[in-house]
Chains A and B, each alone.
Chain A
Amino acid sequence: MTQVVEKGRERSVVVGKVGLTTNYAVAHAVKDVDVDVVAAYPITPQTTIIERLAEYVANGELDAEFIPVESEHSALSAAVGASAAGARVFTATSAQGLELMHEILHIASGLRLPIVMAVPGRALSAPISIHGDYQDLMNVRDTGWIIYIASTAQEAYDTVIEAFRVAEDPRVLLPVIVSYDGFLMSHTTEPVEVYDVKAVREFTPRRHGARPLLNPERPVTMGALATPDWYYEIKYQAINALKASRSVIDEVDSEFNRRFGRSYGAVEGFMLDDADYILVTYGGAATWNALEAAKEARGRGLRAGVLRIRLFRPFPTNDLVKKLADAKAVAVVDRAIAPGSPVEGPVFKDVYIALREYGVDKPVISVIHGISQRTMYVRDFYELYYKLKDIASTGNVPRESLYMGLR
């Protein structure tokens, strides 16, 4: 990883290196930022987050109200209520649960509530599958939330801390999703450096009262009815806030680096300086397998690179275009499908549009892989690099998504 460790970091902020699954790393971060309310409902592969949080509350390690709601719809609804009353709130879900929340996702961003939610990505029914991909996340990309996709347990831990700071910033006031690979990350143990609680809390200061809250001392009406006379303007404020959040996201990431010695950026590039062929990925498994393949390809003289999208919404158009501008051919690896679209990779569409918007015209292909955790082999990515080379030299760019790993 290309993490920047600034010289000034005080090593004392790291209190230990522990083995944590990404789910447990997320729960640890939620405890470290001292949330007030957790509302959650079990669903695989998210469940171990809320199990761990329930334990923290039961042991007195986290002073929070744990609301064991009767559905994900109520989980997010309770989170909305708690956030509107001024609490620091966390919830988590996956797949069908995220779909059940869908209505309230739009409301949480429309009401400008700084809720943080973890989403280990999972395939959607039918047929029912508990295994990982990002179909659930792709279905909620237009709900107005800030969305990060982490690639390691450490990054998930760090990103949850950053997420609270970003969400609650008075210049932002938007909910944040921190997503990552279901199972391949959520249930895989990795070494994670955890920080001194005091340092984490200093980094995520309480801003109680910095936004309107439900309190009889100063009555406000939230969730009012807007006629066509007003709806557009009010909605546009939230849309604009999402766009404008980017500068705060960057600022928080830099300050995180100063304090904790880690920074991730909106996109993360690997061996991109001279890369001719680039795989665009998101999440852990796709990225790290692509990186292995890139190293192998480089061993054989092919200038291969990987660009990982970490900040998915607001989409880091500029950063992405800059990193891809000099490539000869690009493949976007999606672990989700947009059925019936001209090309069926959902993130492919974002990348393609971003490049065209900036007048960058080069071969870009859409690759679908890892659906319901179909194994993504390093050799698959390796082959992709050679496919890109072929495409660049022949100019024969496939017009349809390439379904890898499909029997």
Chain B
Amino acid sequence: MGMASGQIKVGIRTIWDVPKEEYFGPGQLTCAGCGPSLAVRHILKAAGPDVIVVNATGCIEVTSTQYPYTAWGVPYIHVAFENAAAVASGIEAAIKALNRKGIANVKAKVIALAGDGGTYDIGMQALSGMLERGHGVLYVLYDNEAYMNTGIQRSGGTPRFAWTTTSPVGSRVRGKVQSKKDIMSIVIAHHIPYAATASIAYPIDLMNKVRRALEVLDEGPAFLHVFAPCPPGWRIDDSKTVEIARLAVETGVFPLFEWDHGRFRLNPPSNMHVDKSKRKPLINYLKPQGRFAHLKEEEIKAMETEVDSYWDYLTRLLKAFG
């Protein structure tokens, strides 16, 4: 193992290679330090102008499209909460049919964009349908680990023990009882050409993964799971978004990896983290976050066991598919 170091196709090597064009305009209404808005900005820079974005209801939607303004420099549609993947399927099919029949000549790739609530929970069925049918759509999950738009409620993407308004810290129940759903395994089980995790703390890795994902759409769907902290929801300082996102990777909580045509790859720096001693202590990630402030020693221990067990699972994947 170990050999599967990040061999992603490198198009953007340094920050100087990042396109200067902005397709996600300034002046949106996101909170200070918003992780998801950074994700969108980077994704659109990597994708360029020839895309159509389908956005599920959520933070990004309400903050970027308040009539009569829009932050979107590319074609954009929002329909509802649970159906971004279905709407994207329809657009992809329409482009195919219109181009084939000579009615139009649309050169656009379709990107569906949804939060964790819109993906792990209410949008899961539509996502699975889209992946199963093999639509050439890039589905981006921006994961801020709760329903932030409605005011911090737990989702299937919220980690165990985290405080939210519907997983409060009480005398009998202390934060979320259940573990975070393994969305990547669910997606990979659809045997799509490409799926990867990425983080706003590693924008170059993120942008290269967007490019790679867009490359494979002629063969079928691609999926990106983008980690994007939410300062008000996670009870962190506005200035700490990127730092916390980086710590999630460095502590092994959110590993960066790719599933490319049936091959599994860990990407830097996660490719070093099979060796637990190379990971930073979990407490470094938990401590700055108010949503974990109530955690006792044994709860932190339990979280660490979960992280270790996920790494054990990834290690076995690497052995089998690396």
A residues near B (Cβ < 8 Å) are 36-37, 39, 63-65, 67-71, 73-75, 77-87, 89, 103-104, 107, 111, 206, 208-209, 214-216, 219-227, 230, 234
Contact = CB atoms under 8 A, between A and B. Distances in A.
Contacts of A67: 89-90, 93, 133
Interface of B: 49-52, 54, 61-62, 65-68, 70, 72-80, 82-83, 85-91, 93-98, 100-101, 103-104, 106-108, 125-126, 128-129, 132-133
Given A214-B75, A224-B66, A36 B101 contact: yes
A69 B75 contact: no
B97 A225 contact: no
A395 B315 CA distance: 85
Nearest to A84: B77
Contacts of B126: 70-71, 73-74, 77
Nearest 4 CB-CB pairings of A with B:
A81-B90, A70-B129, A78-B90, A74-B86
A37 B90 contact: yes
A78 B92 CA distance: 9
A64 B80 CA distance: 25
Contacts of A220: 75-76
A223 B65 contact: yes
A87 B132 contact: no
B75 A224 contact: no
Contacts of B86: 69, 73-75, 77-78, 81
A400 to B, nearest CB: 39
A224 B70 CA distance: 8
9 contacts: A39-B90, A65-B97, A69-B89, A80-B90, A89-B90, A107-B79, A208-B98, A208-B104, A221-B75
**Residue with the greatest number of chain A CB neighbours at <10 A, chosen from B61, B82, B93:** B93
B97 A70 contact: no
Given A223-B79, A224-B78, A77 B125 contact: no
Contacts of A225: 61-62, 65-67, 78
Given A215-B106, A225-B62, A82 B94 contact: yes
Contacts of A111: 79
A29 to B, nearest CB: 18
A221 B72 contact: yes
B80 A78 contact: no
A333 to B, nearest CB: 36
A208 B68 CA distance: 25
B50 to A, nearest CB: 5
Contacts of B70: 221, 224
A243 to B, nearest CB: 23
Contacts of B75: 214-216, 219-221
Given A89-B90, A214-B108, 17 more contacts: A39-B93, A69-B133, A70-B126, A74-B83, A74-B129, A77-B83, A77-B126, A81-B90, A84-B77, A104-B79, A206-B103, A219-B76, A223-B78, A224-B65, A224-B66, A225-B66, A227-B66
Given A65-B93, A67-B89, A74-B125, A216 B49 contact: yes
Which has the most chain B C-beta neighbours within 10 Å: A83, A111, A219? A219
B67 A216 contact: no
B94 A86 contact: yes
Nearest to B103: A208
B87 A214 contact: no
A67 B83 CA distance: 14
Contacts of B94: 36-37, 65, 81-83, 85-87, 89
Contacts of B88: 81
Contacts of B95: 85
A70 B90 contact: no
Contact of A70 (B52, B73, B98, B125): B125
A229 B78 CA distance: 20
B52 to A, nearest CB: 5
A250 to B, nearest CB: 29
A103 B125 CA distance: 16
Contacts of B133: 67-69
A264 B89 CA distance: 37
Contacts of B85: 74
Contacts of B97: 36-37, 63-65, 82, 87
